[in-house]
Amino acid sequence: MSKSNQVSKTQSSSLSSITRLKETRVLTFCGMMGALALILSYVATIKIGQFIRIGFSGLPGQIIDYLFGPWIGAVFAGTMDIVKWFVNGDGEFFFGFTVTAIVAAIIYGLFLYNKPLKISNVILSQLLVKLFCNIGLNTLWLKMLYNQAVLAILPGRIISNAVMLPIDCFIMFAMLKVIGKIIRPHFQNY
């Protein structure tokens, strides 16, 4: 099969994966991952000041991105961002953070969905999300919301993302390795 055929096949399977939301087991699994994300947002989030949060409530979303692709992942991420805000009621709702969550899910899905799990894909996806979404977009949203000087909040955000990059890569790779062996076979396309 030529490289262009492989690319178009991957793109079409990625786009058509959204139809899997009609499957009861996919919706049920997404609901369970959503519940887990809510629990993790309560018990596994560390706040450092007003602008830095370190947490693991994104892990269930990464599982969704890996299993079902970027588009179901984007729907899941956008929905969970809004649901977490309603449940936690932490601060003002700002749609920019929802956009960031959606973009991050698309990045993870593009690097992980229907591909062999490689550490290089995990590192690249984590690096892109940290640079573009966490440091770039979220810093912009914080500037717009709180009118803080970007140069005042950027160093702390860069340091926290740099510290978390190897940790997040390790956790994501190890988690998806297990998910790939135990859960992924139950969701293979028929």
Q: What would the pLDDT profile of 147-173 be if each residue is shown by its tens digit?
A: 877 778 888 889 989 998 999 999 999
1 within a domain of the structure (yes/no): no
Per-residue buried b or exposed e for 84-99, using 16+ beta carbons within 10 Å of the residue's own CB: bbeeeeeeeeeeebbb
Residue 3 lies inside a defined structural domain of this protein:
no
- Residues in Cβ contact with 187 at an 8 Å cutoff, skipping those fewer than 6 apart: 25, 26, 29, 67, 68
- 10 lies in some domain: no
The confidence score (pLDDT) of residue 7 equals 46
Reply yes or no on whether the pLDDT at 3 is more than 60.
no
Mean of the per-residue pLDDT values of the chain: 86
Q: Long-range CB contacts (< 8 A, 24+ apart) of 10-19?
A: 10/114, 13/69, 13/114, 14/69, 14/70, 14/71, 14/109, 14/110, 14/113, 14/114, 15/71, 17/68, 17/69, 17/71, 17/72, 17/113, 18/69, 18/71, 18/72, 18/75
Reported confidence tier of residue 49, pLDDT bands at 50, 70, 90: low
Count structural domains, the chain. 1
pTM assigned to the model: 0.85
Residue 32 lies in a domain: yes
Note down the domain range covering 60.
19-185
| Rounded mean pLDDT, 120-136 | 97
- C-alpha–C-alpha distance, residues 37 and 88, integer Å: 12
Query: Which tens digits make up the pLDDT trace of 57-115?
Result: 899 999 999 999 999 999 999 999 999 888 877 677 889 999 999 999 999 999 999 99
- Counting beta carbons within 10 angstroms of the beta carbon of residue 158, is it exposed (0 to 12), middle (13 to 18) or buried (19 or more)? middle
What was the pLDDT predicted at 157? Answer: 87
Task: Encode burial over 30-65: b for 16+ CB neighbours within 10 A, e otherwise.
Answer: beebbebbbebbeeeeeeeeebebebbbbbbbbbbb
pLDDT of residue 53: 65
- Helix 59-68 and helix 95-112: axis angle, to 10°? 50
pLDDT tens column, 7-29:
445 455 666 678 888 899 999 99
Give the CATH number, domain containing residue 173. 1.10.1760.20
What pLDDT was estimated at residue 98?
Answer: 95
9 lies in some domain: no
- For residue 70, being part of any structural domain is answered with yes
Asked if residue 104 belongs to a domain, the reply is: yes
Is 6 a domain residue? no
Per-residue pLDDT, 12: 52
Closest CA to 96 of 142, 37, 152: 142
